[in-house]
Chains A and B, each alone.
Chain A
Amino acid sequence: MIVITLQREKCIGCNYCVEHAPERWAMSKKDGKSVLLGARDRKGFHTVKVNDEELEQNKTAAKSCPVKIIKVTKI
């Protein structure tokens, strides 16, 4: 399993995470920031546990995030 975390408040809405991992990310049309699909919001940190097969594309999403607010950890 892997854990993906998004510190959503700092998102600048560049869309890179959606480009790299469209199954896990979407852009909110409401506030223009990214949404980590399936995640729960814990005090601004949005977290979701997913299968290993999503590791690579989400690592790329984290790497390409210009404001470095995505964290991907293998557990």
Chain B
Amino acid sequence: MKKQNVEIMAPAGGFDSMMAAIQGGANSIYFGVEQLNMRARATMNFGLEDIKEVAETCRQHNVRTYITLNTIIYDHDLTVVKTIVNAAKDAGITAIIAADQAVIAYARSVGMEVHISTQVNVTNIETVKFYSLFCDTIVLARELSLTQVKKITDAIEHEQIKGPSGRLIEIEIFVHGALCMAVSGKCYLSLHTHNSSANRGACIQNCRRTYKVIDEEEGYELKIDNEYIMSAQDLCTIEFIDQVIDSGVTVLKIEGRGKGPEYVKTVTECYREAADAYFEGTFTAEKAKVWKDKMEQVFNRGFWSGYYLGQELGEWTDTSGSKAKMRKVYIGKGNKYFTKIGVAEFQIEAHNLSVGDAVIITGPTTGLIETKIEEIHTQNGAVSQAVKGDICSIKLEKPIRKSDKLYKLVSAAE
């Protein structure tokens, strides 16, 4: 059966990223609640009290919602698991992304849809069959090749493997974002060195550092060309999105709950457009290049194609942080919006704002607005530059809110 389209699933680390995902055209978002998810360390997780609002806002935009509840689970976590699943069920969240059997069993017992997390490392059809007893969607291990993925999706179709909903099992894979140096869900590097378990969402990402190799017997230090010997570049599949979709997957997932709204919107938009182009028959290498260039502007460690095309190992990054070509500089916060005249007022708190600057405005309701400053007004009338301390107004078609943040985009080299 030929698919009509694919689902683009975007990460939401907070309300601003959630809105950015919706604006970018995501069909679904995934997010963590409290500490039992793979970004437990992040300060941006949602609380139990936020679940209803997330569900409601997404429902209004026809966007599906998934809660990640995919760490390893101890006895003392069992009540929290139940509390989160119950709250998700009450709020009308679409599904729970789970790894531990305790979570899977409880979610099923209350009739909640379950998706199997990549943390389970599903790599073969028999495991898919096993989990089909409990779940409707399975995220495959990120280390499979597309040939292996296709074998699994073909077998699901051929053997008519269905989940509890009665629909054929849907296969989801990661198409963009950070990759682990070890098989996802099986890395103990952070735990061994810093007592901080990646599998409880507390990875300190020490694989992203530089290392020296020393021969302890004779004290020789080996020279390594790229000292970031364990830090994989980021996955980017946009140039072969046709092959990704042809592998029979239904959901394309974007990594990055720890990243900002500008990353979420840009990457979601690019994959949405690429998938649509594929189904319209207008996908070309030239277009893919444009999308890739666009995504290079936001957080990335350099791109590679992951394991999907069967590349050899060795695509390591040569930087500790992002290679994004643009970076954002905080300028100030939103004051108010004058709807009738389409003007937004900001309080400048740092640096300055000039006519011609490219800016972004982010906020929990606003999501992400990108614009170019064409004119600035302060108490002195029209000016070419507003400085720290000024209250200034700019023309803006979309409304802003008081809590919104204004950033200037500058070249990363600056």
* Interface positions of A (Cβ within 8 A of B): 11-16, 27-33, 64-67
* Interface positions of B (Cβ within 8 A of A): 34-36, 40-41, 74, 76-80, 83, 194-197, 200-202, 204
Q: Which residues of A contact B76 (CB under 8 A)?
A: 13, 15, 27-29, 32
A66-B201 Cα distance, complex, nearest whole Å:
11
A68 (CB) vs chain B CBs: closest residue: B196
Of B77, B78, B195, B202, the residue contacting A64 (CB under 8 A) is B195
**What's the minimum C-beta distance from A22 to chain B, rounded to whole angstroms?**
13
A14-B40 Cα distance, complex, nearest whole Å:
11
**What's the minimum C-beta distance from B84 to chain A, rounded to whole angstroms?**
10
Structural contact, A13 and B77, CB atoms closer than 8 A: yes
Top 6 A-B residue pairs of the complex, sorted by shortest distance between their CB atoms: A66-B196, A27-B76, A32-B80, A12-B40, A32-B77, A12-B35
Contact count A vs B, C-beta below 8 Å: 53
A29-B83 Cα distance, complex, nearest whole Å:
11
Of B34, B74, B194, B202, the residue contacting A15 (CB under 8 A) is B74
Q: Which residues of B contact A12 (CB under 8 A)?
A: 35, 40-41, 200-202
A32-B77 Cα distance, complex, nearest whole Å:
5
A27-B200 Cα distance, complex, nearest whole Å:
15
**What's the minimum C-beta distance from B106 to chain A, rounded to whole angstroms?**
14
Of A14, A29, A64, the residue contacting B200 (CB under 8 A) is A14
B203 (CB) vs chain A CBs: closest residue: A66
A13-B195 Cα distance, complex, nearest whole Å:
13
Structural contact, B74 and A66, CB atoms closer than 8 A: no
Q: Which residues of A contact B194 (CB under 8 A)?
A: 66
Structural contact, B77 and A16, CB atoms closer than 8 A: no
